[in-house]
Amino acid sequence: MKIAGYQMQSMTGDVEANLDKIARAAARAAEEGARLLIAPELAINGYGAAEALVETAVSAQSPTMARLSEMAARTGLTIVAGFAESDGDAIYNSAVLTDGSGEFAVYRKSHLYGPYERRWFSVEEPRAILADVDGMRVGMLICYDVEFPENVRRLAKAGVDLVVVPTALPIGWSGSFIAEHMIRVRAFENQVFVAYINHCGADRNFAYAGRSHIAAPDGSLLAEAPADEEALFFAEIVTSAFDQSRAENTYLRDLR
């Protein structure tokens, strides 16, 4: 299965502009034969939107989500994108997966990073949210979640082939290490594919590292985006190509 990562520069607080950008990326991804498109953390609202996160937060049953579903139906893609989710009085840092059927799988971030996220979002208990995409089992995490090995292991034990990780990784030495090394280790130690899709550029609150990566079960890098610009990039996910790696690295089977 061919997947696409969309490393984008979101417009803070401008939901319509961000949906338009995702729609254009979806159309291009479909033309290239992709079946799955992944956009960054809070791509729909803009990660650094601050107060506007509350103003633009929506429920999973909102017109915003309906538009994303229509986008998926029109292009034949499954789309994953981060958004600020409202549920009663709570706001969650969430990611939605839609295949255009009108049904949504929603994952809420379980590990909030720093005072910024803790100010604007409620925390959710860790959960395994799974979906089937063209016969491939897909699980979702968001940014900081992937830095805790327990979260990826939970999904691996649940039988996923691919972990998608919308993220908002900032510029800095630690960010470079996470993107360039940790993501490949998470893939290897769980024998799964990991798609880590970041923002680029800057907004009024943050500057982003770019460096989106898609890693394979043997720790190899299937695709990456540059540090400093928007990019729609692709990887072929062929699970059988890594049967030998799984046979040699039996972490899940040997786990006690």
Give residue-wise pLDDT tens across range 26-71: 999 999 999 999 999 999 999 999 999 999 999 999 999 999 999 9
Range of the structural domain that residue 160 is part of: 2-254
Q: Is 143 a catalytic residue?
A: yes
CATH number of 176's domain: 3.60.110.10
- Residue 234's DSSP bridge partners are 4
Annotated catalytic residue, options 21, 41, 117, 224: 41
Give the phi and the psi of residue 203 in degrees, each rounded to 5. Answer: -125, -165
| The pair of three-digit structure tokens given for residue 251, joined into one six-digit string | 């972490």
Annotated catalytic residue, options 85, 109, 124, 147: 109
Q: Is 2 a catalytic residue?
A: no
Annotated catalytic residue, options 21, 117, 124, 143: 143
User: For residue range 162-174, what is the model confidence (pLDDT) as tens digits?
Assistant: 999 999 999 999 9
Give the phi and the psi of residue 78 in degrees, each rounded to 5. Answer: -95, 135
Q: What is the pTM of this model?
A: 0.97
Number of other CB atoms surrounding residue 31 within 10 Å: 9
Are 39 and 166 in contact by the 8 Å Cβ rule? The answer is yes
Average pLDDT over every residue of 239-249:
94
Provide the domain count of the chain: 1
